Amino acid sequence: MTAPDIDQPLVKKKRVLITRRLITRPETGGIVAAFLVFAFFASLAGKNGFLSLLGTANWLGTASELGIVAIPVGMLMIAGEFDLSVGAMVGATSISVAMATGWFGVSAWVGIAVATVIGIGVGLANGFIVVRTGLPSFIVTLATMMMLEGIVLAVSIGITGSSSVSAPSSGFVNSLFATTWHNFSVSILWWVALLGLGSWVMTRTVFGNWTYATGGNSQTARLSGVPTDRVKITLFVCTSLGSVVTGTIQTLTFHNGNVTLGGQLVFTGIAASVIGGILLTGGYGSPVGSAFGALTYGIISIGVFFLGWNADLTQLFIGVLLLLAVLANHRLRQHALGQK
């Protein structure tokens, strides 16, 4: 037998191992979903403007605003927790920035600073309540969402008489959060920067290892010396701060603040993360997956518009993808663990 004949089984085995690693990567499902959805709308709506610079800018902008929230939400899910208060935090940020600029006539930075303090407070409250009481984060953050929405609505109407406030802006703060270049929003750069930071944290730092360990088995991780409570509280704060960024971008972009601005983000952040390969049970996933899940949502949202279909079909597409993602992630997880 010649040397090439001897090496052939080794090469084949190596290819199988590489393929298996790629298939079992947590973000693989999200990347495939984004590619298939893009191909679908590109083939049907490409001539309608979906592939034009304007169309591309629209679905990237939509994806980026969701992605800024979905990446920290996904990291929190990897740690085994949920945050439903992100939508209310976007609304709180929106009103804070709008009242600062449009009602009190001060710099938008004042509103952003107020929103940041609120966001840190909400994140700390969510985290401490979850780790100290052991209550499900789903329930805790649902309660926080309702309370925050009520407080913000009462303050907005009590001071301005409306739940919607004009938010004029200019200067550096506008360039940082609301500028565009050939219709491409600066939110895309925020999204990419956050993706890079999140990926670095999860793959190159001890905190990333702690996050995976916490979501995999919190009790075992705690006994191994992982500060699981600190991990969860930190990630709750991060999800709130992600909402502050998105709320600021949307408010300054449209020059208007509204209490209900982030309503659609309550579950879409979680949906994007699941579509991107993050398990609902925690311990598995990546920020890259969340980013591609958000990209899928953006493509569908704008793709449906360019096809001229009813906008409600966006939710149908997302629902189908969410169900398929859960099934696929379950199977991939079993395959990775060597289970039947």
Q: Is the pLDDT of residue 182 over 90?
A: no
pLDDT bracket for residue 10 (50, 70, 90) = low
What mean pLDDT is predicted for residues 92-115? 94
Sign of the CA dihedral running 97, 243, 323, 318? positive
Q: Is the pLDDT of residue 91 over 90?
A: yes
Q: pLDDT value at position 9? A: 66
pLDDT bracket for residue 308 (50, 70, 90) = confident
d(CA 53, CA 113): 34
What 3-state DSSP class applies to 21? helix
The label of the residue with tokens 């996050």 reads: 211
Closest C-alpha among 83, 59, 62, 61 to residue 241? 83
* Residue-averaged pLDDT of the chain: 88
What mean pLDDT is predicted for residues 97-103? 93
What mean pLDDT is predicted for residues 113-122? 97
Closest C-alpha among 226, 195, 199, 225 to residue 210? 226
What mean pLDDT is predicted for residues 39-64? 91
Helix (H) or strand (E) holding 288: helix 287-307
Provide the token pair at 126.
Answer: 């969510």
Closest C-alpha among 33, 51, 34 to residue 42? 51
pLDDT bracket for residue 275 (50, 70, 90) = confident
Q: Count the alpha carbons within 13 Å of 161 in the hemisphere toward its beta carbon.
A: 0
Bigger pLDDT: 119 vs 339: 119
DSSP state of 180: E
Query: Any idea which of 98-112, 145-159, 254-268, 314-328 has the lowest mean pLDDT?
Result: 314-328
What mean pLDDT is predicted for residues 270-291? 89
Name 271's Cβ contacts closer than 8 Å, sequence gap at least 6: 293, 297, 318, 322
Alpha-carbon distance values, 291 to 269, 276, 294 (Å): 10, 7, 5
Could you tell me how far CA 93 lies from the centroid of its own chain?
17
Alpha-carbon distance values, 180 to 14, 53, 58, 243, 325 (Å): 46, 13, 11, 20, 33
The amino acid that residue 201 corresponds to is V
What mean pLDDT is predicted for residues 262-281? 87
Domains belonging to the chain, first-starting first, are 26-336 (1.10.3470)
Q: Is the pLDDT of residue 17 over 70?
A: no
Helix runs in 172-227, H state only: 172-178, 187-204, 206-216, 218-223
Q: Report how far apart the first and last C-alpha atoms of the chain are (Å, whole number).
A: 37
**What pTM does this model have?**
0.89
Q: Is the pLDDT of residue 301 over 60?
A: yes
Instruction: Express each pLDDT in 216-266 by its tens digit.
Output: 999 999 999 999 999 999 999 999 999 999 999 999 999 999 998 888 888
What mean pLDDT is predicted for residues 64-71? 95
d(CA 273, CA 287): 8
Provide the token pair at 198.
Answer: 């999140």
Let me know if 76 is exposed, middle or buried by CB neighbors in 10 A (0-12, 13-18, 19+): buried
Alpha-carbon distance values, 14 to 8, 17, 195 (Å): 10, 5, 31
Q: pLDDT value at position 97? A: 95
Q: Is the pLDDT of residue 24 over 80?
A: no
Closest C-alpha among 37, 26, 31, 23 to residue 320? 37
Let me know if 32 is exposed, middle or buried by CB neighbors in 10 A (0-12, 13-18, 19+): middle
| Percentage, residues of the chain above pLDDT 70 | 89
What mean pLDDT is predicted for residues 296-303? 90
d(CA 321, CA 183): 28
Could you tell me how far CA 137 lies from the centroid of its own chain?
17
